[in-house]
Amino acid sequence: MIITPLGHSCFLLQESTGTTVITDPYSSEIGISLPPVSADVVTVSHAHYDHNNVGAVSGHPMVIDKPGLHDVKGVQIFGLNTYHDDHDGKHRGMNVIFNIRMDGVNVCHLGDVGHGPSPMMIEAIGPVDILLVPVGGNYTIDAEVAKEYVDRLMPSVIIPMHYKTDDVNIDIEGVDSFLDYFDKDDVEYVSDGKVEFDRSDFDDEYSMKVICFEKN
C-alpha cells in the first residue's frame, strides 16, 4: 500500500489492487489547496470545512462519515465514534476515528479527536500498524496527548498531521513539540511525497518510527 500526504489531515491511501481512499479532504480556506484527486472512498471524521470538502474529490467516491464496519472493494474500514473536544462533544461535537485495513496493514486515522485515550477506546480501535495522529492542539489533542495515543496503541509507524505549516492559516502548533518526544534516530524525514508499505514490514520484531513529510 502507498500513503501520499495531501496536506493537513488529508492522505491518499492506495491498495495494491488499485482501490483508493482519501481521508478528510479540506477546503482552500485553510490557506492551501487540495490537489486534483480521485478516489473510490472518502472518509470524513467530522463536518468542519478543513475535513469535509468531499466535492473536491472526483471519481464519484463512496463517502463514509459514520461509525461502523464498511467493506469497499476488499478494503475494510471501521469507524468509531469519539469526541472533537474533552467535554463529551459539547463544544465541537463528534469525531469519527477510522481504522482502515489495506493489503493486510491497519492504518488508523484519528481525525480531530479532542480527548485522551481510554482503555475502552484503545480496545475498540483494535490493532494499529500505522497511526495518523493530530498533534497541533487547540482544536484537537496536543503533542502530549498525541504521545499518549502512541504509547497506548503502539503502532510501528507514526505520521503526525493537523499541525501548523508556513501556508496553513489555522491557529495550531507546529510539529516540533511532538517530534521532541522521540529520539532523533527514530524520526525519518520523507521528501519524495509518499511512502510504501506491505504486511511484511510489520511482521518482524516490534520497532517504532515517526515519518515526517517535508514540504515539497
Query: Which CATH number do you get for residue 121?
Result: 3.60.15.10
Q: Can you give the three-state secondary structure of the chain, one letter per residue?
A: CEEEEEECCEEEEECCCCCEEEECCCCHHHCCCCCCEECCEEECCCCCCCCCCHHHEECCCEEECCCEEEEECCEEEEEEEEECCCCCCCCCCEEEEEEEEECCEEEEECCCCCCCCCHHHHHHHCCCCEEEEECCCCCCCCHHHHHHHHHHHCCCEEEEECCCCCCCCCCCCCCHHHHCCCCHHHEEEECCCCEECCHHHHCCCCCCEEEEECCC
Domains identified in the chain, total number? 1
Q: If pLDDT is split at 50, 70 and 90, which confidence band does 215 have?
A: low
Q: What is the pLDDT of residues 4-34, one digit of tens each?
A: 999 999 999 999 999 999 999 999 999 999 9
Average pLDDT, the chain: 93
Whole-model pTM?
Answer: 0.96
Q: What is the pLDDT of residue 193?
A: 85
Q: What is the pLDDT of residues 26-41, one digit of tens each?
A: 999 999 999 999 999 9
Q: What is the pLDDT of residue 216?
A: 37
Q: What is the pLDDT of residue 212?
A: 95
- Which domain does 135 fall in, by range? 2-213
